[in-house]
Amino acid sequence: MNEWLTIAMPKGRIFEEAVQLLRKAEFPIPPEFEESRKLIVDAPEANMRFILAKPMDVPTYVEHGVADIGVAGKDTMIEEERDVYEVLDLHISACYLAVAGLPEYEKTDVNPKVASKYPNLATQYFKQQGEQVEIIKLNGSIELAPLVGLADRIVDIVSTGQTLKENGLIELETIVPITSRLIVNPVSYRLKDTVIDDLVERVAQVIGVEEQL
C-alpha cells in the first residue's frame, strides 16, 4: 500500500485535531507538522499530502477530486450539498447550529428576515418549520445583524454560547448537532479503496466507533 492520499483540511484547530487523530491511528506524521504556514504540506512517511483550505471549500476540493478525502464540518456538508461520500463522524469540533435573536424577539406580521453564513441550510430549515423567511447572506460576525437591525434572527454555529451571550443574544431554537466528518471523493473511494478503508478503520478505532462500522 504505497498509494498517496491527498487530504483537504480546514486550517487551524480542526487540522491540528485531525492530525492528532491520524497520529493516534499510527500514521507516521512528523512532529510540529501542523505548525507550517504552507498551503500544501507533505508527509511522505505516511504517503499523505495535506491541502489546507477554507472550511467551506473543503467539500469542493474533494468533489472535484483534487483531494481524495477531506475533513469537513456537517454544517458545510448541509450547506454545500456536494457529491461526496460521508464515511465517518470524527467526533471532533463538536458544536451545533441554532437560531438566535434578541431576548425581546417576537414573531410579527412583518416579513421575517434571517441573517446567516448558511443561506441554503437556513432556507431548508425554515421551510421544514413551515415558515417562509427572507435570508440575508453574511460572511462572518453574524451576531451583528440583530443588534443593528439588519435581520431579526440569525442562524449560526454555537459551541459554548459565549459569543451570543456577550452580544446580548439568546438561543431560540436548536437546529442540528454538528461534528467534523471524513468525506471521500466518489472515484477515489473506489480506486483507492484499500488505502481508504484502512484509514477509515484505523481512525474509527481511535475514536472508538469501530463497532459501528
**Residue labelled with grid coordinates 478525502:** 69
Give the interface segment with another protein, choosing from 31-39, 58-66, 100-108, 165-173 (CB under 8 A): 58-66
CB < 8 Å & 24+ apart, contacts of 85-88: 85/183, 85/184, 85/185, 85/186, 85/189, 86/181, 86/182, 86/183, 87/181, 87/182, 87/183, 87/184, 87/189, 87/196, 87/200, 88/181, 88/182, 88/200, 88/203, 88/204, 88/209
Binding of residue 188 to another protein (CB under 8 A): yes
The nearest distance, CB 190 to another protein, in angstroms, is 5
Nearer to another protein (CB atom), residue 124 or residue 163: 124
Q: Is 40 in the site for another protein (CB under 8 A)?
A: no
Does position 127 interact with another protein (CB under 8 A)? The reply is no
Query: Which of 39/66 has CB closer to another protein?
Result: 66
- Phi, psi for residue 46 in degrees, rounded to 5: -100, 5
Separation of CA 52 from chain center: 14
Contact residue for another protein among 13, 64, 137, 165 (CB under 8 A): 64
Contact 67, 61 (CB under 8 A): yes
Site residues for another protein, 164-183, by CB under 8 A, read 181
From 132, 147, 186, 210, residue interacting with another protein (rule: CB under 8 A) = 186
Query: Considering beta carbons, is residue 62 or 169 the nearer one to another protein?
Result: 62
The count of other CB atoms within 10 Å of the CB of residue 166 is 9
Please state whether 149 falls in left (phi above 0), alpha (psi between -120 and 50) or beta. left
Scanning 21-29, 77-85, 93-101, 159-167 for contacts with another protein by CB under 8 A, the matching segment is 77-85
Contacting another protein (CB under 8 A), which of 65, 112, 119, 161?
65
Residue from 3, 173, 193, 210 binding another protein (CB under 8 A):
193
Distant-in-sequence, close-in-space partners of 143: CB < 8 Å, separation ≥ 6: 100, 154, 156, 163, 164, 167, 169
Under the binding rule (CB under 8 A), the answer on residue 2 touching another protein is no
Q: Of residues 16, 42, 86, 171, which one binds another protein by CB under 8 A? A: 86
Contact residues: another protein, CB under 8 A: 63-66, 83-89, 181, 185-188, 190-191, 193, 197, 212-213
